[in-house]
């Protein structure tokens, strides 16, 4: 900021250069006016609220560390290196309207190139902890989403997080249009390639709570796999509070309830998962298996038939369906067909 004495000297030189004669009193009055305008600008600037930056990636690393996972200083250092390198490649200088999309695409392409330079590759497992993704370089679409959002927050990019089933992507919001971006491919999204997106079915915008709820669910899943079921339920419950309609969260809530010996509640969770996503194979198959073991064979048969529709190359499904047909209906011939199909699939492997 230019100091008052400096401004006075500048004005004196300005008037002298123009051969203008200004009285000292007049010059002082002019300077006072200029100072008042500067002070007003400074006041406006001070009163303008600063954009709050939320560090999504760092927050998720903190959550994983608090849950007992081995998150080390080098994970944070690696993250900061990626984010800072990517931010340098982002340009948000004002451009003409017709050039805004080109600028946006260039920004996103540059970010993708930074990820490639760090040797990140796509990993289809939907439940990868962020610190493990940074460590192994294997990232699912949610891990990529987290990094994009950390960069967008720091650089001020107008993006929105979206989820379609277990697929995550971003939408870039321009004044004139909105376009999707495939995170791990680093290309503009072609909705025709994704029936779910084309029909706008099960596409959910992710606010901050839902965004972090996915991280809570991932933590809960890993704790469940370590048989730390009570700890797992704490994180699954947080994920449920963030989005009670998420099929995958409902399914894992069922798994954790079953781990805790609460079978009735587990059945409810599996049924809710299927209610929210009818073709959710893992929930359908788990429900069928649980009903079969409880002796509820009619209900189990419905779920096994549907599971076979969703996964027709799974031999175990045919074998269990055959068992149900014999126990429930004494249909030995039909059961034999299912046993033969199971054997055929096993021999193909």
**Residue 182 pLDDT:** 92
Edge to edge, the sheet with strand 167-173 lists: 187-188, 178-182, 167-173, 159-164, 203-205
pLDDT band, residue 164 (cuts 50/70/90): confident
Higher pLDDT, 270 or 19: 270
**Residue 284 pLDDT:** 97
pLDDT band, residue 50 (cuts 50/70/90): low
349: helix, coil or strand?
coil
pLDDT band, residue 14 (cuts 50/70/90): very low
**Residue 51 pLDDT:** 52
In this predicted structure, the answer to whether residue 20 has a pLDDT above a threshold of 50 is no
pLDDT tens string 89-132? 888 777 788 899 999 999 999 999 999 999 999 999 999 999 99
This model's pTM is above 0.75: yes
Domains of the chain: 4-41 (no CATH), 56-206 (3.10.620), 239-348 (1.25.40.10)
**How much is the mean pLDDT over the chain?**
86
**Residue 326 pLDDT:** 94
pLDDT tens string 247-259? 999 999 999 999 9
In this predicted structure, the answer to whether residue 311 has a pLDDT above a threshold of 70 is yes
Give the CA radius of gyration of the chain. Answer: 30
299: region left, alpha or beta (phi > 0 left; psi from -120 to 50 alpha): alpha
Task: Tell me how far apart the alpha carbons of residues 207 and 232 are, in angstroms, rounded to a whole number.
Answer: 23
pLDDT band, residue 167 (cuts 50/70/90): confident
Average pLDDT of span 252-280: 97
pLDDT band, residue 6 (cuts 50/70/90): very low
Average pLDDT of span 144-163: 91
**Residue 32 pLDDT:** 54
**Residue 203 pLDDT:** 83
pLDDT tens string 220-244? 999 999 999 999 999 999 999 999 9
In this predicted structure, the answer to whether residue 218 has a pLDDT above a threshold of 50 is yes
């Amino acid at each position: 900021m230019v100091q008052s004495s400096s401004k006075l000297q500048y004005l004196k030189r300005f008037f002298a250069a123009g051969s203008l004669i200004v009285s000292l009193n007049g010059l002082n009055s002019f300077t006072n006016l200029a100072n008042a305008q500067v002070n007003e600008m400074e006041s406006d600037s001070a009163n303008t609220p600063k954009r709050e930056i939320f560090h999504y990636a760092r927050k998720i690393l903190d959550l994983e560390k608090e849950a007992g996972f081995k998150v080390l200083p080098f994970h944070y250092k690696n993250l900061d290196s990626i984010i800072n390198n990517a931010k340098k490649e982002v340009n948000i200088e004002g451009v003409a309207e017709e050039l805004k999309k080109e600028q946006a695409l260039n920004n996103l392409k540059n970010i993708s190139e930074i990820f490639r330079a760090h040797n990140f590759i796509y990993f289809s497992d939907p439940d990868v902890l962020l610190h493990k993704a940074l460590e192994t370089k294997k990232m699912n679409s949610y891990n990529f989403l987290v990094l994009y959002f950390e960069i967008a927050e720091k650089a001020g990019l107008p993006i929105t997080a979206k989820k379609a089933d277990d697929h995550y992507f971003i939408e870039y919001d321009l004044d004139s249009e909105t376009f999707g971006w495939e995170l791990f491919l680093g290309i503009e999204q072609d909705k025709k390639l994704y029936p779910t997106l084309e029909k706008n079915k099960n596409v959910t915008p992710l606010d901050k709570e839902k965004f972090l709820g996915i991280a809570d669910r991932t933590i809960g899943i890993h704790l469940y796999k370590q048989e730390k079921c009570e700890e797992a339920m704490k994180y699954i419950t947080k994920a449920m509070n963030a989005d009670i309609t998420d099929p995958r969260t409902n399914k894992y809530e069922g798994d954790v309830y079953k781990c805790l010996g609460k079978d009735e509640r587990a059945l409810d969770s599996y049924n809710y998962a299927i209610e929210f996503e009818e073709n959710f194979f893992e929930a359908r198959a788990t429900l069928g298996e649980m009903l079969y073991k409880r002796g509820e064979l009619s209900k189990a048969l419905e779920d096994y038939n549907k599971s076979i529709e969703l996964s027709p190359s799974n031999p175990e499904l045919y074998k269990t369906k055959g068992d149900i047909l014999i126990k429930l209906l004494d249909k030995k011939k039909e059961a034999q067909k299912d046993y033969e199909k199971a054997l055929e699939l096993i021999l193909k492997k």
